[in-house]
């Protein structure tokens, strides 16, 4: 979101960061209300948001990808759940 302050336009940094913010795996399954066992089951069948590799030993899930994954799972959206 852009807002005018004086003669300059500023970008709302929080809006931009939300699109790239990354959660750990445990933060992700807790944020969507799943148990670790259910998350592992979904992961085994490939039904989780895409992972983002942050470093050699660290993987996370982007908030924007989590939101898109949840939207695809919404019942009554016209898509198979």
Query: pLDDT tens for residues 34-54?
Result: 999 999 999 999 999 999 999
Residue 47 near residue 38, CB atoms below 8 Å: no
User: What are the tens digits of pLDDT across the range 61-70?
Assistant: 999 999 999 9
Q: How confident is the model at residue 18 (pLDDT cuts 50, 70, 90)?
A: confident
Write the Ramachandran bin of 62: left for phi over 0, alpha for psi from -120 to 50, otherwise beta: beta
To the question of pTM greater than 0.75 for the whole model, the response is: no
């Amino acid at each position: 979101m852009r807002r005018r302050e004086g003669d300059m336009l500023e970008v709302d940094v929080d809006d931009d960061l939300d699109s790239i913010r990354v959660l750990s795996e445990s933060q992700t399954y807790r944020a969507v209300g799943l148990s670790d066992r259910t998350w592992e089951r979904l992961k085994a069948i490939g039904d989780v948001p895409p992972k983002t590799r942050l470093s050699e030993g660290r993987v996370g899930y982007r908030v924007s990808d989590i939101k898109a994954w949840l939207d695809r799972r919404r019942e009554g959206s016209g898509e198979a759940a």
